[in-house]
Structure 1
Amino acid sequence: MILYIMSKNKNIAVENDATAKGVIAMLREIAIIGGGAAGMMAAIVAARNGANVVIYEKMNRVGKKILATGNGRCNLTNINLSHQNIGCLHSTNRDLVRNILKQFTVENTIDFFEILGIAHKVEAGGKVFPMSDQASSVLDVLRYEIDKLGISVLCDCEIQSVKKIKDQFLLKDQNGVEYRADRVIMVTGGMSSPSLGSNGSGYGLAKSLGHKVVKPFPALVQLKLESPFLKVIKGIKFDGEASILVDREALRKEEGEILFTEYGISGPPILQLSRSAVEALEYKKKPQLKIDMFPSHTHDELVALISLRLSYQYDRPLDFSFIGLINKRMIPIILKEAGIHHLDKLCSEVSNKEIRNIVKILKDWEFSITGSQTWANSQVTAGGIDVSSICPETLESKLVKGLFFAGEILDVDGDCGGYNLQWAWSSGYVVGNEATIK
């Protein structure tokens, strides 16, 4: 006997009853709560496996946060990331991260998007971008594939409750409309960039189903500093090195363009360091930021450079002698921080000790970190759903069968450079696959 089963996308011919049962199992209803990177990947994979898929998205369109990634260029992934090298992803269960990256690798991601039409290029630091340099092109091909697969997308639809009733899930939106599903994939993101849809709403849904949440905090975010000079030096940029110190121990060091702001400090190195700083503050510690404005010079080399400079300009005022070496607005502050208050003293009158004090500030200027900018300014959320209650191979809940989590909602976060998007693609792939085969 041949049984025909109607799917959204096709008629499937089944030759016997046993096979029919298997196909019917495949045609389960998958509810995906959240239409970001992980949600769209999960939807595509599940639909390709034959499931009927519905994406529930609270915003007026899916994928808004993708458009903001990579400064509008979409840093798709990073070729330096693998299940053997996960140093740029942070979690309390690193084996879970390895398991997921092993199932859908960086190479798989590049191939996936190449087939969809995204030619790629690799830039400094292993960052992978679309050849078009447009994040919109990535979203375009994802949305095209979603349409092609017949995936239903309900926008302006915020799921406010999820309940498990026997073998099905009952979902209810903000208008009281109810939906049913055989499997639920929760990919609502974290709390970063709430204007793009991430406001932590998924945490409440997860808690209602018995899951615990590791307290979220903003990462990849600008830092606030304690200093009386910030208003004077705001807007000054320089290429330097920054380190985070906790209890005098250097936790991490980064180089690149650093920017002083009215509230503190910003720039790519600061964003990379921010997780360590904010985490320390969460634990009531007192992190310090150390700035090296001349990372290419040792202390002794910089002492020699400044000594020679002052010897050439022995009859000039000290403050004037630094013009051309450091930003003019920085000169009086650097000198005062070095304990020199007569800024117009002649260069010939400057002692070796004073020169070393100046170098100490230029190489080891320390600031107390008092906090970070808000969730609206952060690029990613650290913390999230406690992964101890998540199966490390499938990302299925250990507490509720048929419930899966992926992306930023989990207690997994990465550095700048494509790592967070790769986690979204990998985890989205795994849950999209597992939700349809389990």
Structure 2
Amino acid sequence: MAEKRVAIIGGGAAGLMAALVARRFGAQVTLLEKNPRVGKKLLATGNGRCNFTNMDLDLGHFHGTRPPFAQGALSQLTGAQTLAFFRDLGIEPREEEAGKIFPASGQASSVLDVLRYQVEHEGVEVVCDATAKSLIKNGDEFTIHTSAGTFNAQAVVIATGGKAGPQFGSTGDGYNLAISFGHRLVEPFPALVQLRLKAPFLKGIAGVKFVGQASIHQGHLLINQAEGEILFTNYGISGPPILALSRTAGEIQAQHKEALLKVSLLPNQQTTDVAQYLERRFREQGTKTAEFSLVGFINKRLIPVLLKEANIELKEKAARINTIQTAALAKLLTAWTFTITGTNGWTAAQVTAGGLDVRDIDSQTLGSRLVPGLYFAGEIIDIDGDCGGYNLQWAWSSGFTAGLSAALYAT
């Protein structure tokens, strides 16, 4: 019987899974990685702890132009099956808040170590320093020209990632390989990333941290919101709620429209109630300056900025602050509005939003609808997940699906 060979382009999470599964289903597998070692980006996930899945894999945690597309792969390797898979490799899972699953070791290197060992132990040929330059199909065979030589295969899985984290080798290489076969691209943009804001006072409040609410607006329309710990920076704003909202902001800006961020320092409190409280506080603290009257209620570094924005003199006696000024300050405390100028870019982004258009890919096999024998896995596809292990689950599930499909095709 003729040898059935599958080539995997990209040795990240999805590529490693695809290589291992294709090998287990009988294919001879060559894994081509541009970096000196596979899995470089995996080491940085979960702040080096590797949040590798989540107990709640509801489809609402996945995004893209057509999110239901993700269900095909997610149903082929479920969360429970993912836990069993990694347990077999030696990774003992530990559940933390919000259903996040980490290795009990607390080290991302543990996940990479067992994957690397298993891939090599089961006979996958791993070729590093092999940047894919071109991909050509002649008859039933693909030819991959790389910086490390030329490779042939009956089926190919492109798992080169997106553009997030170029310092780890993710530079969008795979897009051009797919586009050369006629695949369409949904323009990629950074997601799970800090936001840049337009404001002259940012350097003065950089480092101020608080638990609050953030929301994204397009004009007067509320689009999305999140709560949690928020951090002002010298370029804008960060923190888990901001990362969660960054995709929404990116979608608006991709349409060349203005995205606004509203921040509440007092989440779940009404502006009118806050105004009434401030009026009472200013009466009670009447002999103090406006600036000092707010000490103990607002972070001291924010007080001068907020007072200036509300058109209140710092040295004004609290008793002399009028209702218009009080209402303006209450509005700032509950809905401080900023214009978003962009994100902190690809280097800071945890994931790529956008990617290969899923209309050109079969959701059940992750095979190309244009080129038989060509498959895709991971971040290269127009699917991305929330923070919390969802992007790695997509990598595992899509890698499993593509690797299995490629092995079966190459038979």
Structure 2: distance between partners of 1:80 and 1:307: 45
Q: Give a deviation string over 1:201-255, Cα, whole Å, max 9, x none.
A: 1111111122121111111111111111112111211111100001211111011
Gaps of 5+ in 2: none
Kept in 2: contact 1:35–1:187 (CA 8 A): yes
* 1:225 aligned partner, one-letter code: L
Q: Map 1:141-156; keep pairs closer than 5 Å.
A: 141-156=114-129
Q: Give a deviation string over 1:326-368, Cα, whole Å, max 9, x none.
A: 221211111111121x221222222333322211100010001
Q: Give a deviation string over 1:2-53, Cα, whole Å, max 9, x none.
A: xxxxxxxxxxxxxxxxxxx5xx5xx511100000000000111111112111
The structure 1 residue matched to 2:287, chosen from 309, 315, 326, is 315
The structure 1 residue matched to 2:112, chosen from 131, 139, 143, is 139
Kept in 2: contact 1:169–1:181 (CA 8 A): yes
Q: Which moved more, 1:184-193 or 1:103-112?
A: 103-112
The structure 2 residue matched to 1:117, chosen from 90, 100, 117, is 90
Structure 1: distance between partners of 2:252 and 2:66: 19
Secondary structure of the structure 2 residue equivalent to 1:397: coil
Structure 1 residue 43 corresponds to structure 2 residue 19: yes
Kept in 2: contact 1:193–1:375 (CA 8 A): yes
Structure 2: distance between partners of 1:115 and 1:296: 45
1:426 is matched with which residue? 397
Structure 1: distance between partners of 2:212 and 2:107: 29
1:33 is matched with which residue? 9
Q: Give a deviation string over 1:239-288, Cα, whole Å, max 9, x none.
A: 11100001211111011111111111111111111111112111110010
Structure 1: distance between partners of 2:84 and 2:280: 56
Kept in 2: contact 1:95–1:392 (CA 8 A): no
Q: Map 1:92-103; keep pairs closer than 5 Å.
A: 92-103=65-76
1:168 Cα deviation from its structure 2 partner? 0.6
Gaps of 5+ in 1: 1-20
* 2:327 aligned partner, one-letter code: R
The structure 2 residue matched to 1:408, chosen from 379, 386, 397, is 379
Q: Give a deviation string over 1:283-320, Cα, whole Å, max 9, x none.
A: 11001000000104333443344334333322111110
Kept in 1: contact 2:33–2:127 (CA 8 A): yes
2:45 is matched with which residue? 69
Counting matched residue pairs gives 409
1:166 is matched with which residue? 139
Structure 2: distance between partners of 1:407 and 1:133: 24
Percent identity, aligned pairs only, is 49
1:101 Cα deviation from its structure 2 partner? 0.8
Structure 1: distance between partners of 2:321 and 2:366: 64
Structure 2: distance between partners of 1:351 and 1:283: 41
2:340 is matched with which residue? 369
The structure 1 residue matched to 2:264, chosen from 292, 304, 327, is 292
Kept in 1: contact 2:310–2:325 (CA 8 A): yes
Structure 2: distance between partners of 1:205 and 1:104: 26
Secondary structure of the structure 1 residue equivalent to 2:303: helix
Kept in 1: contact 2:186–2:357 (CA 8 A): yes
Structure 1 residue 58 corresponds to structure 2 residue 34: yes
Structure 1: distance between partners of 2:353 and 2:268: 32
1:213 is matched with which residue? 185
Q: Map 1:5-404; keep pairs closer than 5 Å.
A: 21=1, 24=2, 27-81=3-57, 85-174=58-147, 177-340=149-312, 342-404=313-375
Structure 1: distance between partners of 2:117 and 2:278: 60
1:8 is matched with which residue? none
1:407 Cα deviation from its structure 2 partner? 0.2
Structure 2: distance between partners of 1:369 and 1:355: 26
* 2:361 aligned partner, one-letter code: I
Structure 2: distance between partners of 1:365 and 1:413: 29
Structure 2: distance between partners of 1:131 and 1:324: 41
Q: Give a deviation string over 1:74-127, Cα, whole Å, max 9, x none.
A: 01111111xxx2111112233321111111111111111111111112111111
Structure 1: distance between partners of 2:221 and 2:272: 23
* 1:357 aligned partner, one-letter code: A
Structure 1: distance between partners of 2:140 and 2:154: 7
Instruction: Give the TM-score normalised by the residue count of structure 1.
Output: 0.91
Runs of 4+ in 1 over 4 A off after TM superposition: none
Instruction: Give the TM-score normalised by the residue count of structure 2.
Output: 0.97
* 1:42 aligned partner, one-letter code: A
Q: Rg: which structure is higher?
A: 1
Structure 2: distance between partners of 1:279 and 1:246: 11
Structure 1: distance between partners of 2:253 and 2:317: 44
Kept in 2: contact 1:406–1:427 (CA 8 A): yes
* 1:414 aligned partner, one-letter code: G
Q: Which moved more, 1:352-361 or 1:53-62?
A: 352-361
